[in-house]
Structure 1
Amino acid sequence: MEFSMIFEAQLANPTPERERQVLLDCVEQAVYGEEMGFDRVWAVEHHGLERYAHMTASEIFLSWVAAKTSRIRIGHGVVCMPFQYNHPVRVAERVGMLDALSGGRLDVGGGRGSTRMEMGMYGVNPADTYPQMEESLRFLANAWRKDEADWHTDLLDVGPAKIMPRPVQTPHPPLYMACSKRDTVKLAAELGVGALVMGFAGPEEVKEMYDLYHATIRTRGGDRLVGPDTNDKFVALCPTIVLDDPDRALRIGARGQRFFAEAIAHWYGHGPAPAEDTEDDDNIAALARDKEALVAKLNEANIPARPQDTGAFNAEHAYGTARDAIEYVERLADIGVDEIMCLVQMGTVPQEAAMETIRQWGETVIPHFRNKA
C-alpha cells in the first residue's frame, strides 16, 4: 500500500498575500512529504472556485515540487479534460514535459471540471464533459505509441503530428480518473484507468466502491479500454489531522472539513460561501446539523440521500493521534485499497498542524504499514 497527499490550495479569508502564502505552504508540505516517506503528491485543477481550490495551474505547482524533490511521484489529480479547458494535444505536451523533467515521476488523472462556475468560464457544454474526458484519456494512451500521433474520430482530429517532448515512462505515465460516485468508479474500471475515489463517506462506502470497481474489472471486455496498458489501481481519500493532543486534532480536522463541505456545497450545490469560524466552534455538531438539513432538503424534493451527497459531513476520519490514524487506515487496508490519499490541507488548517500531521504520518503511521508489509 502506498501513501500520498492531495493539494487543492484551499484558502479561508482570501487576500493576494494569503493566496501566495497558501501556495508556498503547499509546496513546503509536499517537499516535507518526500522526507517523511510519502510516495506521491496529487494536485487538483479547478478554476474560479474561490476558497475551495486556488490550484488553477497545477502543472506549474507540480513542476515547482518536482524541482525541489528527487523521489516522490507527482500527480495531476486531475486535469480538466473537456477540450475547452485543455485541448488533448496540450494535455499531452504538458504530460510529456512534466514526465521528462521529473525523471519519469508523473501520474495523470482525468476529470470533468463540472461546476457551473468552471463550465461558464470556459464555455463548456455539460453534455460534452464525459465524452470529451474519455476521448482525451484515449488520446493520451495512444499519443506516443508511434513516431507521430495520427488521430481521427468524430470528436478529435489530430495529425499526423509529433507530440513533444516524449515522456520517460513508456508508452505513457499511469492514467487515472476522478471518481466521486458509483457511475464514475464503474467507468474508470471499464476504461482501464485507476480510480481516485474522492468521497468522505468512510470505509463502508469505500468498500462498496472498491467492490464495484473490481467486479467491473473482472467482467469487462476490451472494447472500452482507453489503451492496451491498464492501470487497475484504487486510491481512497483519507482526511487526517494527527497531533499529540487528540482533542485538538479532532477540532482542527472537523473545522477544516466543515470548511471543505461548505465550499463543496457552495460551488457544486449553489449554497452559501463557507463561513469564517474559529477553532473553538463546535464544528462536529455543525457538521451533523448541516447533514440533517441537507437530508431534509433532499427528502422534500423526493431525492434519496446518497453517501456521496452527505459524506462530506462525516467527521469520523483519521483525526487524533498516530494510533487513531493507524486504526482508521487499517480499515482501509483490510478492504484492499492500493493507496491512501491524505487530505491535510483544508482551508482552515494551520500550517504548523499540517506539518506536524505529515511528520507523525512519516515517523509512525507509514512505517507501521511498511513494517507490516
Structure 2
Amino acid sequence: MKFSMIFEAQLADPTPENERQVLKDCVEQAVFAEEMGFDRIWAVEHHSLTQYAHMSASEIFLTWVAARTSRIRIGHGVVTMPFGYQHPVRVAERAAMLDSLTGGRVDIGAGRGATKQEMRMYGVRPEDTYPQMEEALRIFSSAWREEQFEWHGSIDIGPGAILPRPVQNPHPPLFMACSKHDTLKLAAELGIGALVMGFAGADDVRTMRKVYDEAIATRTGERFVSTEVNDHLSALCPTIVLDDADLALRLGTRGQRFFAESIAHWYGNAPAPTSYAESEDTADHVAAMARDREELVAKLHEANIPARPVDTGTYNAEHAYGSADTAISYVEQLREIGVDEVMCLIQMGTVPQEACMETIRQWGEKVIPRFRALEAK
C-alpha cells in the first residue's frame, strides 16, 4: 500500500498575502512529505474557485516541488482535460518534459473541471467534458508512444512528434478522478487508475472498491486508452494527527467543515464558507456538516441531479483525526478493503501550517512505518 498527499491550496481568508503564503506552505509540506517517507504527492487543478482551491497551475507547483525533491512521485491529481481548458498536445508535452527532468516520477490524472464557474471561465460546454476527457487520454497514450504522431477525431493533430519523450515506458501512469459509481466503472473500462475523491468513509470505500473490481472483471478491453493498464485505486483520507488528540479532532472536523461548505458553495450554489469561532467544538462542526449536506442534496435534486448524501463528498462520520493510533486504525480498514494508496488530505483551509507539518511528521514516524513493517512480513 502506498501513501500520498493531495494539495488544493485552500485558504479561509483569501487575501493576496495569505494566498502567497499558502502556496509556500504547500511546497514546504510536499518537500517534508518526501523526508517523512510518503510515496507521492498530488496537486489538483481548479480555476476561479475562491477559498476552495487556489491551485490553478498545478504544473508549475509540481515542477517547483520536483526541483526540491529527489524520490517522491509527482502526480497531477488531476488535469482538466476538456480542450477548452488546454490543448491535449500541450498537456502531453508538459508531462513529458517534467517526466524527463525528474527521471520518470510523473503521474497523470484526468478530470472534467465540472463546476459551472470553471466552465464559464473557459467556455467549456458540459456535454463536451466526458467525451473530450476520454479523447485526450487516447491522444496522450498515442502521442507518447509514437515517433510521428497523428490524430483525427473531434480535433485534428499532426503529423508531428511530442518532444521530449517521457522517461517512463510506454508513458506516465494514467488515472482519473472518481466520485461516483459511474466514473469508477468508466475508469475500469478505460484501463486507468481510480482516484476516489470525497470524504467517503470506509464502508463507502468498500463499495467503491467492489464497483471498480466488478467493472474490471467484466470489461472487454475494447475501451482501453493505452496498451498499459493501470488498475490502481487511491482513496482520500482526511487526517490531522497531533500529540493532543482532542485538538487534532477539533482542527480536523473544522477543516472538513470548511471543505464541505466550499464544495457546497461551488457545486451546489450554497453560501460561501464562513469563519468559525474558536469556541465551537467538534460536535458543532459535525452537526453543521450534516445539516449542510442535506441542504446540498436537496439543491442537487432541485437541479435534476440525483444524489445521495455520500455523493456530495462532504461528510465522513469516520476519520483519521486524533492520535497516530486513530489514523492507524482507520488505515487498517482501508488496507483490509484493498485500497492501493492512502491519499492524505491534510491541507484544509482552516488548519494551521504547524498542525499540517506535525501531522506529516506523525504519519512519517508512526503511521507509515507500521504498514511498511506489515508488508515486509
Q: Report TM bin, short chain.
A: over 0.9
Q: How much does 1:145 deviate?
A: 1.7
**Distance in 2 of aligned mates of 1:289 and 1:144:** 47
- Change in 2 beyond 3 A, CA 1:192/1:290: same
Q: Cα–Cα, structure 1 residues 298 and 58, in superposed 2: closer, same or farther, change >3 Å?
A: closer
Give, in whole Å, the separation in 2 of the partners of 1:248 and 1:61. 30
Higher mean Cα deviation, 161-170 or 71-80? 161-170
User: Counterpart in 2 of 1:328?
Assistant: 330
Structure 2: which amino acid aligns with 1:138?
A: R
Shift of 1:284: 2.1
Amino acid at match of 1:120: R
How far 1:46 sits from its partner (Å)?
0.4
Work out the CA distance in 2 between the residues paired with 1:298 and 1:106.
36
TM-score computed with the length of structure 1 as normaliser? 0.97
Q: How many angstroms does 1:316 deviate by?
A: 2.1
Cα distance per residue 1:81-136 (max 9 Å; x no partner): 00010111011011111111111000000000010010000000110000000000
| 1:160 paired residue number | 159
Counterpart residue number, 1:230: 229
What's the counterpart of residue 13 of structure 1? 13
Distance 1:298 1:112, change over 3 A: closer
The separation in 2 between residues aligned to 1:24 and 1:302, in whole angstroms, is: 40
One of 345, 366, 369 as aligned partner of 1:367: 369
SS in 2 for 1:291: helix
Q: Distance in 2 between matches of 1:195 and 1:283?
A: 30
CA contact (8 A) 1:288 1:314 kept: no
Alignment-mate amino acid for residue 262 of structure 1: E
Contact 2:297 2:309 survives alignment (8 Å): no
The Cα shift of 1:157 comes to 1.1
For residue 257 of structure 2, what is the aligned residue in structure 1?
Answer: 258
Give the SS at the match of 2:314.
Answer: helix
Once the two structures are superposed, what CA deviation does each residue of 1:155-177 show, in whole Å capped at 9, x if it has no partner?
Answer: 12111111111111112100000
Amino acid at match of 2:92: A
Contact 2:141 2:226 in 1 (8 A): yes
Residues 1:130 and 2:141 aligned together: no
**Counterpart of 2:99 in structure 1: which amino acid?**
D
Q: Gaps spanning 5+ residues in structure 2: where? A: none
Q: Which moved more, 1:306-315 or 1:191-200?
A: 306-315
Comparing 91-100 with 295-304, which one deviates more in the overlay? Answer: 295-304
Q: Is the Cα–Cα contact under 8 Å of residues 192 and 231 in structure 1 kept in the other structure?
A: yes
Q: Which amino acid aligns with 1:265?
A: A
The aligned amino acid for 1:76 is H
Structure 1: state its 5+ residue gaps.
Answer: none
In the alignment, what sits opposite 2:144?
144
- Between the aligned residues of both structures, percent identity stands at 70
- Spell out the pairing of 1:268-307 with structure 2 (5 A cutoff): 268-281=267-280, 282-294=284-296, 305-307=307-309
1:265-309 deviations in Å (ceiling 9; x for gaps): 011111111111134323122223323444566788897651443
Q: Within 1, Cα distance between the matches of 2:296 and 2:174?
A: 34
2:184 aligned with 1:182, yes or no? no
Which deviates more, 295-304 or 247-256? 295-304
Cα distance, 1:250 vs. partner? 0.8
Measure the CA separation in 2 of the matches of 1:303 and 1:125: 17
Give 2:347's aligned residue: 345
Which residue identity is paired with 2:273?
Answer: P
Question: Which amino acid is the alignment partner of residue 270 of structure 1?
Answer: N
- In the alignment, the residues of structure 2 paired with residue 175 and residue 223 of structure 1 have an alpha-carbon distance, to the nearest angstrom, of 17
CA deviation map 1:314-369 (0-9, x unaligned): 24210010000000010000000000000000000000000000000000000000
Local SS of the residue matching 2:145:
coil
Q: Is the 8 A contact 1:257 1:315 kept in 2?
A: no
Q: Does 1:77 align with 2:110?
A: no
Aligned counterparts of 1:137 and 1:310: Cα–Cα separation in 2: 26
Contact 2:268/2:296, CA 8 A, preserved across alignment: no
SS at 1:91 equivalent: helix
1:81–1:110 contact (8 Å) kept in structure 2: yes
**Separation in 1 of the partners of 2:303 and 2:57?**
38
Alignment length (residue pairs): 372
C-alpha distance in 1 between matches for 2:179 and 2:314 = 11
Question: What is the one-letter code of the residue matched to 1:226?
Answer: V
SS at match of 2:236: strand
Q: In the alignment, is the contact (CA less than 8 A) between 1:109 and 1:175 conserved in 2?
A: yes
Match of 1:86 in 2: 86
Retained in 2: the 8 A contact 1:205–1:307? no
Aligned Cα root-mean-square deviation (Å): 1.5
Letter in 2 for 1:357: T
Q: 1:369 to 1:305 in 2, by over 3 A?
A: same
- Whichever residue aligns with residue 365 of structure 1, its letter is V
